[in-house]
Amino acid sequence: MQLRYSFRLYPTVGQQEALTKAFGCARVVFNDAPRARRDARENNLPYLSDRELSQRLTEAKKTPERAWLAEVSSVVLQQALADLNTAYRNFFNSAAGERKGAKVAPPTFRSRKDNQQTVRFTRNARFTITASRKLRLPKIGEVPVRWSRELPSEPSSVTVIKDAAGRYFASFVLQTEDQLLPAVESEVGIDLGLSAFAVLSNGKVIESPKFLRHAEHKWRKLQKSLSRKKKGSKNRNKARVKVARAHATVSNTRKDWAHKQSTIIIRENQAVYVEDLCVKGLARTRLAKSVHDAGWGLFTTMLQEKAARRGRHFGKIDRFFPSSQLCSVCGVIDGKKPLHVRAWTCRCGATHDRDLNAAKNILAAGQADRPTPVELVSDSTSVERPAVKQEPAGSAA
């Protein structure tokens, strides 16, 4: 499995200038290619292939107008073209219906004002980690790194990132082996919400940290200060960096919290089931700020990735499954209930907490949909056969 390991970089002033030059050259190469293809289309010329774009880049470095492209590593420029070609392939596959998920737009031009600037170095660039634990990059030098942990294997590439807050990071891509956890018997269903971040079918409740809500007062003051600064001034840029750092703090805190909670759940359970929520749709409602603050998509993605690495099972339940309407005791669908109804009593006499009942139903639905090994009479080998999900009793009522 391929993983990314990110570490903070602390380049010197000279190295920052060299990185800025690399960012700019990669951006120019990325923007030149769509223009060349657009000009070819307007002049009724054949579509420029990836190889032809690469050849044009080599020729451009020999011209006086683009001679400064040779001042940075050629790998950085080639990787910028590779990113563009990947963006075009994703767009074409999406338009042809060969790519799952939301429709992908065609690649747009990059700007020096983008929130994030990146360059990538592959093995061809011969980047190395020195004996003094610094990252040596071609035509940039040895950049100090704050190592928070050891790399488990040799990285295949490294991406240098500068974020909106002016911080630098090195993101290493490397191949690792799955680290399987000992098998356990417990399985859990998770109902995600806003009043409580998650309610587990075993009765555990994870309270919502509400990082954004707690930071709003500070954000408001910083944003007001930014709005009062003159556009283009140095003071405005300083205020902009303060706002970006405040946003980065909330984002990093939320991500760290989600990592810890997802790790605990994966370690304690052999199988984890969640609802396939339409986060984009919920983010268009009046609860948009709370939905974004919760970070359900980030959390479920972490659960899925960690389950794959640790040998656990992860399943998603259809978003239209009536988990909040179904009685987990008798299976009767009791109808829709407004959000303010947090507890209800079924016809069978069972009293349910809304979220806990939904988590139990999610667990039952996930276990019913999960393929189960069935032993064949004529053969000792087992085959995977999906279990048939029974209709809840009294659903026609």
∠30-84-8 over CA atoms, to 5°?
75
* Active-site residue, selected from the candidate residues 32, 187, 334, 355: 355
CA distances to 9, 59, 197, 318, 360 from 365, in Å: 46, 60, 21, 9, 9
Residue 275 catalytic?
Answer: yes
Say if residues 332 and 348 touch (Cβ distance below 8 Å): yes
**Nearest C-alpha neighbor of 31 from the set 95, 70, 77:** 77
CA distances to 23, 137, 173 from 113, in Å: 12, 24, 26
* Active-site residue, selected from the candidate residues 187, 275, 293, 334: 275
Angle between the N-to-C axes of helices 74-95 and 13-42, in degrees from 0 to 180, rounded to the nearest 10: 40
Residue 52 catalytic?
Answer: no
Is 190 exposed, middle or buried (CB count within 10 Å of its CB: 0-12, 13-18, 19+)? buried
Euclidean distance between CA atoms 141 and 157, whole angstroms: 17
Euclidean distance between CA atoms 273 and 300, whole angstroms: 10
Residue 39 catalytic?
Answer: no
Q: Take residue 160 and report the two structure tokens written for it.
A: 């240098």
* Active-site residue, selected from the candidate residues 32, 187, 191, 334: 191
Active site residues per annotation:
191, 275, 355
